[in-house]
Structure 1
Amino acid sequence: MAAVGSVDIEAELVAWLHARLTVRVLTDLPANLADVLPVIQLQRVGGDDDTLRLDRAFVEVDVYAATRPAASALMAQARSVLLSELSGAVTDSAVFTMARTIAAPSWRSYENPALRRFGASFEIYSHPVS
């Protein structure tokens, strides 16, 4: 649950990205991951706030697909919408004010050799709507 004066950035981004990319977006990988590809996983991994309203979240985004080109292409789409459409976006409970890349998309190994993964890190600023 988000603290008073903050946004549940994971929940907001899951819904926001899913609406734009129409692929499965989630925080926890399902046990049957290979059966539901492609998948975008995102997780908040840190950040800070101004103790009032503004939240600066560090978010890891990983894309899983059956092939390396498919994973790379979906990662490029996810990055594009985050950087070009998220700033200024308003949901029922959040206002997003900035998004930028911390670590550009790159190949990330994964223990299942039948899956391919690309990931990137982002810094995302938000605050509650009211």
Structure 2
Amino acid sequence: MWPDVEAELVAWLKAQLNVRHLTDLPTNLTEVLPINQVQRIGGDDDSIRLDRALVTVDSYAADRAAASLLARRTRDKLVNQLRGVQTAAAVFGRVSTLSAPAWRPYENPNLRRMGATYEIYFHPVS
């Protein structure tokens, strides 16, 4: 069975950045900043073993500078350190940036959001 790439990335990024990571935003978002939202938005597989996930990461913080810093730190971890990592369920391969961290509007004026999209290759451990 294919691993849940969102769950694997949330756990790994949380350990790497010591910041809250999740897939669904909490109702009290402004009270728990900074935070990264990780979501798979598509991709495909080779019908055998290799999955190619398109993953978006939105970084939320109280101000633009903090959101930008979190987004850039996340990009650094994903692009430069995820390749070769084995978690309980997945082994990660090539990671590339499809859309670099950039300003994304958000309806709440009390926070700022920067987002990026990545192409992440992985396969199950066994």
Query: 1:69 aligns to what SS in structure 2?
Result: helix
State the partner residue of 1:74.
70
- Normalised TM-score (structure 1): 0.96
Where does 1:20-99 land on structure 2 (aligned, <5 Å)? 20-99=16-95
Gaps of 5+ in 2: none
The two structures, once aligned, show a CA RMSD in angstroms of 0.5
Give the Cα separation in 2 of the matches to 1:86 and 1:34.
29
**Aligned residues with identical type, % of pairs:** 60
- Which residue pairs with 1:111 in the alignment? 107
Q: Which runs of 4+ in 1 moved over 6 A?
A: none
Q: Report the equivalent of 1:8.
A: 4
Deviation at 1:15, TM superposition (A): 0.1
| Rounded Cα–Cα distance in structure 2 between residues aligned with 1:79 and 1:93 | 22
Distance 1:72 1:98 in 2: 24
The alpha carbon displacement at 1:43 in A equals: 0.3
Q: How far off is 1:98 after superposition?
A: 1.0
Q: Distance in 1 between matches of 2:48 and 2:8?
A: 19
With structure 2 as the length reference, what TM-score do the two structures score? 0.99
